[in-house]
Amino acid sequence: MKSTKSKPRERENIVDILKKLKRGPQIITPKDSGVIIAETGLRSGMKCIDAGGGSGFMTIMLANIVAPEGKVYTYEVNPEFANIVKQNVKSCGLENIVTVKNKSAEEFREKNLDLITLDMKGSENVVSKAYDALKKGGFLCIYSPHVEQQKAAAENMIKAGFRHLKTIENIQREWQLGTHSHPHPSGVMHTGFITIGRKI
Amino acid sequence: MKSTKSKPRERENIVDILKKLKRGPQIITPKDSGVIIAETGLRSGMKCIDAGGGSGFMTIMLANIVAPEGKVYTYEVNPEFANIVKQNVKSCGLENIVTVKNKSAEEFREKNLDLITLDMKGSENVVSKAYDALKKGGFLCIYSPHVEQQKAAAENMIKAGFRHLKTIENIQREWQLGTHSHPHPSGVMHTGFITIGRKI
Amino acid sequence: MKSTKSKPRERENIVDILKKLKRGPQIITPKDSGVIIAETGLRSGMKCIDAGGGSGFMTIMLANIVAPEGKVYTYEVNPEFANIVKQNVKSCGLENIVTVKNKSAEEFREKNLDLITLDMKGSENVVSKAYDALKKGGFLCIYSPHVEQQKAAAENMIKAGFRHLKTIENIQREWQLGTHSHPHPSGVMHTGFITIGRKI
Amino acid sequence: MKSTKSKPRERENIVDILKKLKRGPQIITPKDSGVIIAETGLRSGMKCIDAGGGSGFMTIMLANIVAPEGKVYTYEVNPEFANIVKQNVKSCGLENIVTVKNKSAEEFREKNLDLITLDMKGSENVVSKAYDALKKGGFLCIYSPHVEQQKAAAENMIKAGFRHLKTIENIQREWQLGTHSHPHPSGVMHTGFITIGRKI
């Protein structure tokens, strides 16, 4: 019997659940997960791999979109983190959509994927394997806070055959509006760079 | 008989279609539509209204996510633009998901909505009506390029009962990575401000 | 007898002294004072008025440039702040260059000025007087953290006869360079807007 | 007989002259030259070296500040560019302040300098020599558009003995203020990175 939790109209909104979840220091933020979703055309029914990313926030964001027919395979090599992801996914009612594997991303065997997101050290080493696993038209998105990892990833993406590469960063400012409107004086200046490439 | 076009695995990726579509000067960009999707927890099955926004890119982005069971009602008062939206929606295979109405946003009658997005002059005047049309927990997102419209909208949102207001802007830079890594020297410095509020 | 402190080669570098000075919450930062200096062509021998700005950092920055022959007249209506400015100016060895007046900026009588900088509430009310006080080719720079004050100031500047208006903001990011190069994750997102206009 | 042009009150404002000068593609902008001036406490009477930078805009900005008693030695290895710098310096009436040398920056012999600015390929190779040429408390500022050159420069600066290193970038937005206030939609997203270090 399929859990009613996977019916989209009945699941609680993930934004309410995400607020309560345990979070590590490097959560992918809505400005970054959002641009990945919008740039790749992610939608219900798609099949994805997400690797790294600590607490599973990217996994949950992807699963929320691909549900109820799609699938996210999450690879997290650290057993403690893998457990946190599992709990967080369950809290969101997405346990039928997400399969968490406590393995290195280098071991994945899934094929015919629409999207692979990597937010982990050494993501540049999984690029070639990612290319094979994607269906034609599928996207690889690599996220990291540092220029050097993005360079290594982008270089390997070109070598592996990815095209239409685009590396972006989003600087988000929050505003206070009223009689004295101004951006908040301090805030997050940098989260990470995102490189998006496509198998064509 | 239901069109096969609405089956998500069979529709072409909207990012491929959007590139070919006719576009006006003020398309909402992936960095902005993405953050709306991520901040509101939009997902398959949800019901939305989108008003304004010229060529229908926001409508298509929302419809792509809420398909195949959800719904987007698009209000566009200009008959020529309404026609462009219809054509663009059809090009994306989303005509079963989107209903385009060549009416002012002030005339909508839909209820129990998950999300309303407004990208139009005078959006501050629709705020109270939007509040009534949303279900509990639903979001209103107002997008405009100018500080003054955002102020008027945010003020009316507070008055109408919206809470957890957040006004943001995303400054996106594209990078060139290689032996001489640098952000692109020139580009888009500003698209618009987004105010998100919630009916709680 | 003229103090040897005003000889430029003998004064200590202000950047060393500024670090030790008492500072209020709204110091004008080097990115903002620097752009004012560069945009106005400020140099040794020029005559300026600085009004507002709490601890005198802008005054000191201007005085440092216009010394040894130039002059800065600083208006600070709050007696406590005026005293802090005096002490800070003296600490920098610039007491022969700067005259601190514990008066409202609306009372200044100086004429034939090269530059007037205003960083105070109500600066829009001093604009017309500033126009008269500037020599031909002189600049007025208004700094404030809020959009509304800048609008009021800019509008009055146009009315008063100022031309070539330019309103800017500088978003400065500090970088960590090394094997993992990245902008600092958090920092100052906003200090203020600067409107520069010219008497032509 | 000393040229009257070097008397500060009699020189035309450089901002008026700079507008008319021939400029190459990579002019250092006021937001960048300004922050260098403000961060280093540059003032009348100081002695500087400027190397690279094509058309001499940085040289002129420095000379404008250090005049009438200070000095700028400009090194430009390209004879054509060196000639343009000479002409531009003369147009600004700063020919008594600036000495343009058509030589590589690696050949400079000046000592006891307050500031050295480098905006050229291979600036990382001049860092150690720059350290020796600066007086105690003097600053080295390296400007380049690319992350990699800044990394090489910063690394060599640490090795050479420079301290208090700070690498910054300024993102400047110009605003349109009025009834519809907004940042200009497009503009310069990136000019360069600035690394400032000090001989202590």
Residue C8 near chain D (CB below 8 Å): yes
**Between chains, do D186 and B184 touch, taking CB under 8 Å as contact?**
no
> Nearest residue of B to residue A31 by CA position?
B35
**Overall average pLDDT of the D9-33 stretch:** 80
pLDDT tens, D125-173?
999 999 999 999 999 999 999 999 999 999 999 999 999 999 999 999 9
A170 CB within 8 Å of a chain B CB: yes
Kindly give the pairing relationship between strand C71-75 and strand D113-119.
Answer: unpaired
What is d(CA B72, CA B65) in angstroms, rounded to the nearest whole number?
A: 10
pLDDT for A26: 63
Residue C36, both tokens: 């004012």
Q: How far is CA D122 from CA B73, C140, D52, D142, D150, in A?
A: 59, 40, 10, 11, 10
Taking residues B12-27, report their average pLDDT: 78
Q: Cα–Cα distance between B44 and A124 in angstroms, integer? A: 32
* Burial per residue of A60-73, b for 16 or more beta-carbon CB atoms within 10 angstroms, e otherwise: bbbbbbbbbbbbbb
Task: Give the CA diameter of chain A.
Answer: 57
Q: What is the pTM of this model?
A: 0.93
Kindly state whether A16 is in contact with chain B, defined as any CB-CB distance less than 8 angstroms: yes
Distance CA C149, CA C152 (A): 5
For tokens 């906003």, name the residue: C190
Query: Virtual CA dihedral for C23, C43, C123, C19, nearest 10 degrees?
Result: -10
Cα of B177 to nearest chain D Cα, Å: 9
pLDDT at A165: 97
- The alpha-carbon gap from A70 to the nearest alpha carbon of chain B, in Å, equals 9
For B166-189, what is the mean pLDDT?
A: 96
- Could you tell me the CA-to-CA distances from A45 to B42, B125, C87 in Å, in that order? 15, 37, 69
First to last CA, chain B: 39
Q: Which regions of chain A are under pLDDT 50?
A: 1-6, 8-9, 25
Nearest residue in chain C measured CA to CA from A183: C190
Tens-place pLDDT, residues C126-174? 999 999 999 999 999 999 999 999 999 999 999 999 999 999 999 999 9
HSE (CB half, 13 Å, CA atoms) of A137? 14
Rounded CA gap, A177 and B199, in Å? 19
Q: What are phi and psi of A120, to 5 degrees?
A: -160, 155
pLDDT, tens digit (0-9, with 9 covering 90-100), for B61-109: 999 999 999 999 999 999 999 999 999 999 999 999 999 999 999 999 9
Residue A55, pLDDT score: 86
Q: Is B181 on the interface with D (CB under 8 A)?
A: yes
B143 to chain A, minimum CA–CA distance in Å?
13
Residue D137 backbone phi and psi in degrees, to 5: 90, -5
Q: Which chain A residue is nearest to residue C188, measuring alpha carbons? A: A186
- Interchain pair D189, B184: CB under 8 A: yes
The H or E element spanning position A114 is: strand A113-119
Question: CA D110 to CA D130: how far, in whole Å?
Answer: 10
Determine the residue of chain D that is closest to B121 in CA distance.
D180
Q: What is the pLDDT of residue D23?
A: 65
Q: Do B175 and A167 touch (CB under 8 A)?
A: yes
Residues 6+ apart with CB under 8 A from A174: A183, A184, A187, B166, B167, B168
Indicate whether B9 pLDDT > 60.
Answer: no
Segment B28-56 mean pLDDT = 94
Flag if A8 and B39 touch (Cβ within 8 Å): no
- Cβ-Cβ contacts under 8 Å, B13 against chain A: 40-41, 137
How close D146 gets to chain B, by Cα (Å)? 5
Q: Is the pLDDT of residue D8 over 50?
A: no
Contact A172, A146 (CB under 8 A): no
Q: What is the pLDDT of residue A2?
A: 41
Rounded-to-integer distance, Cα D38 and Cα C118, Å: 18
Residue C27 has what pLDDT? 77
Q: How far is CA A125 from the centre of its chain?
A: 18
Q: Which chains touch D (3 or more CB pairs under 8 A)?
A: B, C
Cβ-contact C143, C194 below 8 angstroms: yes
What are the chain B neighbours of D191 within 8 Å (beta carbons)? 185
- Beta strand extents in D6-150 (DSSP E only): 47-52, 71-75, 98-101, 113-119, 134-144
Q: Which residues of B touch A173 (CB under 8 A)?
A: 168-169, 171
Residues of A within 8 A of C183 (CB-CB) are 189-190
Interatomic CA distance for residues D152 and D158, integer angstroms: 10
CA distance B190 to chain D (A): 5
Distance from CA of residue C195 to its chain's centroid? 12
Burial code (b: 16+ CB inside 10 Å, e: under 16) for B42-72 equals bbbbbbbbbbbbbbbbbbbbbbbbbbbbbbb
Residues in B touching A70 (Cβ below 8 Å): 8
Measure CB to CB from residue A37 to each of B34, B168, B171 and give the nearest one: B34
CB neighbours (10 Å) of residue D179? 8
D19 band by pLDDT with thresholds 50, 70 and 90? confident
The residues with which B139 forms a beta bridge, in sequence order, are B115, B198
- The CA distance from A15 to the nearest CA of chain B, in Å, is 6
Search chain C and give the residue with CA nearest A186: C188
Select from D97, D88, D106 the least CA-distant residue to D64: D97
Calpha distance B109→B129 (Å, rounded): 9
Alpha-carbon separation of residue B180 from A113, A195, B183, D187 (angstroms): 33, 17, 10, 21
Phi, psi (degrees; rounded to nearest 5) at C195: -110, 125
Positions in chain C short of pLDDT 70: 1-9, 22-26, 53
Complex ipTM, two decimals?
Answer: 0.93
Q: What is the pLDDT of residue D26?
A: 63
Instruction: Compute the count of residue pairs across chains B and D with CB atoms less than 8 Å apart.
Output: 58
Structure tokens at D4: 């009257």
Chain B interface includes D38 (CB < 8 A): no
For D151, the closest of C64, C167, C181 (CB atoms) is C181
Contact assignment for B190 to D179 by CB distance below 8 Å: no
Neighbours of chain C (3+ CB pairs under 8 A): A, D
Biggest distance spanned by C-alpha atoms of chain C: 57
Chains touching chain A, criterion 3+ CB pairs below 8 Å: B, C
A124's CB contacts (< 8 A; 6+ apart) are A142, A149, A152, A153, A155, A156
**In the prediction, which pLDDT does C145 show?**
95
Chain C residues with CB-CB distance to D14 below 8 A: 41, 43
